[in-house]
């Protein structure tokens, strides 16, 4: 590798690390030995392909951006947008801090009309940025067969008094979704209300928008025990609090609880 590329890599890596709590925290999150990582920072050596992928995945950049190849880091086009997003993530870090913790997330199911999906979400900090993880589980039995779990990774931003969560399904990577939440104006964060825009899990993959509510569970609850409470339930099931059911539109007509992106659900796309 050319010396100039190695220098560019170490310079960009140092810049990315500036937003982290410490180099040790970065190494721990990525899973790279601190002594080896110091060699990358100093330009003494370059990472293996495996470690390069880990670094890129952690910071949300490409290898071309790290090495400054072919204008990838010249601040134009997609790179400019990525830089803007990273800057917003860093700027949102402090404001999102008060919302760290675990949540039950409630929303009407796109697969089973009238049922509510109760999932588990966590908002926390990683690599100097606010991120989210969510687990959606479809309970065993009935038409769903064995238990299915879907996991989502996301980025969390705070802009103009609104929380934005942009997440992607982790395994198949076939869906991006966006959640917009109103912040809590009370002294203690307890419930957050908003909307979610995504794609249904049906074969037709219809775009949809629905109401969504989050119930704060604390910063360090027993996550394993909470996972036993998630699933898909009838709206009047004891697992769904009355306030959540009402917040999701319990008084509105069933066909108004989810807004579909197609004129008629199940209509062919032409």
**pTM, two decimal places:** 0.67
Least confident stretch, 79-88, 98-107, 149-158:
79-88
Q: How confident is the model at residue 270 (pLDDT cuts 50, 70, 90)?
A: very low
Give the whole-angstrom CA distance, residue 156 versus residue 2. Answer: 37
CATH topology of domain 97-260: Lipocalin (2.40.128)
- Average pLDDT on 248-261 reads 75
Is the pLDDT assigned to residue 66 strictly greater than 60?
yes
Give the whole-angstrom CA distance, residue 148 versus residue 138. Answer: 5
Q: How confident is the model at residue 144 (pLDDT cuts 50, 70, 90)?
A: very low
Per CATH, 3-74 and 97-260 having the same topology is answered no
Domain 3-74 class, CATH top level? mainly alpha
Q: In the prediction, which pLDDT does 119 show? A: 94
Write down the domain spans for the chain: 3-74, 97-260
């Amino acid at each position: 590798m050319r010396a100039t590329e190695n220098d560019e890599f170490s310079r960009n890596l140092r810049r990315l690390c500036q937003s982290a709590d410490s180099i040790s925290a970065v190494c721990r999150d990525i899973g790279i030995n601190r002594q080896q990582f110091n060699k990358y920072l100093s330009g003494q050596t370059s990472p293996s392909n495996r470690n390069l992928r880990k670094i890129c995945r952690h910071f949300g950049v490409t290898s071309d951006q790290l090495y400054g190849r072919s204008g990838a880091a010249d601040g134009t086009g997609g790179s400019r947008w990525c830089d803007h997003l990273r800057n917003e993530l860093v700027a949102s870090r402090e404001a999102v801090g008060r919302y760290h913790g675990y949540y039950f997330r409630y929303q009407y199911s796109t697969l089973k009309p009238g049922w509510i999906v109760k999932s588990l979400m966590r908002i926390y900090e990683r690599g100097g940025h606010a991120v989210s993880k969510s687990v959606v589980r479809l309970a065993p039995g009935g038409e769903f067969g064995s238990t299915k779990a879907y996991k989502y990774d996301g980025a969390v931003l705070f802009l103009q008094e609104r929380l934005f969560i942009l997440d992607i399904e982790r395994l198949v990577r076939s869906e991006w979704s966006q959640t917009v939440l109103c912040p809590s104006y009370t002294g203690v964060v307890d419930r957050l209300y908003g909307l979610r825009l995504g794609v249904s899990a049906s074969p037709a993959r219809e775009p949809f928008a629905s109401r969504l509510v989050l119930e704060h569970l604390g910063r360090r609850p027993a996550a394993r025990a909470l996972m036993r409470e998630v699933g898909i339930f009838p709206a009047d099931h004891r697992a769904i609090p009355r306030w959540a059911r009402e917040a999701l539109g319990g008084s509105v007509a069933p066909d108004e609880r989810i807004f579909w992106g197609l004129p008629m659900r199940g209509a062919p796309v032409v």
